[in-house]
Structure 1
């Protein structure tokens, strides 16, 4: 396997956004051993035309699936097609400065066996990877936090390709929102640490659901359900006994917020589905789980 990088991007209603961002990717990749794989889950909005206009034919692969199997499945399908040593999962609503991919390739060379979290600037803040949270279980990790990331955010994440495949990639049943945290918990529990890269990329955030109340509801449903499924799959039983009461109280507060947003019904459906599907989700991961020892390590070990 060549020591190169494949940018993996899942597209969904992304035509207009990709037309803005992809030219910056092409400029940043100039002269570098970087390839592209696009998994398009909404192939009718012109993304393929944008790609053809920006990249040479031999530099990319385009995988269309109008059934929309979700972000997690799209990433897994694209990584399965990669032939390079590393993959960079990159959302289509991220802009790349000209030196970004050179810096990412340098980080890969420095940490060839570890995941790398690349920073994102969005909603007025700067974030690098995933952090723990007592209310929501996982959140975007502020760049100001002194400890290293739990794992990379799926919006800008570097993985050794073999490592991603060995851990089964993303749990596809999650569909979207939380699949990166699920993998982060599993990697951390297995002793694999993520390096944060001092690079922050401009990120629009939420382009696939903006302006669509139905999709906003679907997102609220998935976030509520997936938070419970990630806990069920990745936490040890002793930690679960502590986490479940905390999550229950947190969901009461989250319900009030969803009510104000007009999203209470999908949120409650998500909670119900998470409770029903939790036992099956747990059985589908038989590797090491995140427990008190992992939690103590995460909270006390500072980044290098």
Structure 2
């Protein structure tokens, strides 16, 4: 009897609806993976996507319609992984065999940020503006806070035992807070620039309800991260421009028709309970460093 070999790589992906999009992307995953790669899908859809897509014949599949959020889905998927290296990937990304081989050939488990191309724009990880807003990192000279939740490589133990994804944020911006947690522990993320994967993007906010949800949760989470991750001096250092940017963004939401949801998110961000980080908060000196230009 042959002993079953543990996989050398686990691809973890959190699903929520979008069956039509996944019918386009997931066949590329099936073609790209090999025997030493396992795929773990954590499905938070109201109805199981396995009823519409062939998932269980080539991947491990877990359905949780209670939907505890993206961060919880990542933590759950990592907990189920049988390898020591995770490739976290959004399901609306086209995967290639060469990309999988590149990840498997890395000298260590990172963390690394993997480049995505969305609407013709390449972005690689997460950055922070000096006034405290997280955003996709499109300028390679900007400091890389951490990997995007859309495409990241890291060790299983990093998330399982040391720095789990922040589940209290539910969705939008949790990868940015995770990056700050890594920075506060002195864990630097490296850019994996050898590959760029095409990313559809936006299928979860393709309707007005999704746009309102994103407007509410993103601002809520930005404020919650400001409250949780910055030291008192750092909060004072950026408080005025940070809340000025929150207000200015609210005016844009009026034009977009999502202002009610947005300002509800502002109030929630100011009042929600945020857990104390199990590490030091970001100091003014650290903030200056990680929001400036990258030093080569």
Tell me, yes or no, whether TM beats 0.5: yes
Paired residue for 1:76? 75
Task: State yes or no: 1:140 paired with 2:140.
Answer: no
1:73 is displaced (CA, Å) by 1.2
User: Which residue does 2:241 correspond to in 1?
Assistant: 246
Where does residue 105 of structure 2 map in the other structure? 106
For the 8 Å contact 1:120–1:203, the answer to whether it is kept is: yes
* Residue equivalent to 1:22: 26
Deviation by residue 1:46-89 (Cα, 9 ceiling, x = unmatched): 34552347x53xxx211101112111111111111112101111
Instruction: Could you tell me which runs of 5 or more consecutive residues in structure 1 were left unpaired when the two chains were aligned.
Output: none
How far the C-alpha of 1:202 sits from its partner, in A, is: 0.5
Quickly say closer, same or farther: Cα 1:47–1:14, change in 2 above 3 A. Answer: farther
- Compute the RMSD of aligned alpha carbons: 2.0
Q: Please, which moves more after superposition, 19-28 or 41-50?
A: 41-50
Runs of 4+ in 1 over 6 A off after TM superposition: none
Is the aligned partner of 1:188 residue 2:188?
Answer: no
Counterpart position of 1:41: 44
State whether structure 2 residue 9 is matched by structure 1 residue 5: yes
Provide the aligned length of Structure 1 versus Structure 2: 290
Aligned match of 1:206? 202
Tell me, yes or no, if the aligned pair for 1:15 and 1:45 is still in contact at 8 Å: no
Give the secondary structure class of the aligned counterpart of 1:285. Answer: coil
Higher fraction of helix: 1
- For 1:206 and 1:147, how far apart are their aligned partners in 2? 24
Structure 1 window deviating more from structure 2 (174-183 vs 65-74): it is 65-74
Distance 1:45 1:8, change over 3 A: same
Alignment check: 8 A CA contact 2:94 2:199 kept: yes
Task: Indicate the SS of the match to 1:169.
Answer: coil
Which sections of structure 2, spanning at least 5 residues, go unmatched? none
1:166 to 157, 161, 164: 161
The CA deviation string for residues 175-220 of structure 1, in whole angstroms up to 9 with x for no partner, is: 100110111001011110001011211111121221x211211110
Deviation at 1:301, TM superposition (A): 4.4
Task: Please state how far the C-alpha of 1:167 moved relative to its aligned partner.
Answer: 3.3
Q: CA deviation at 1:174?
A: 0.7
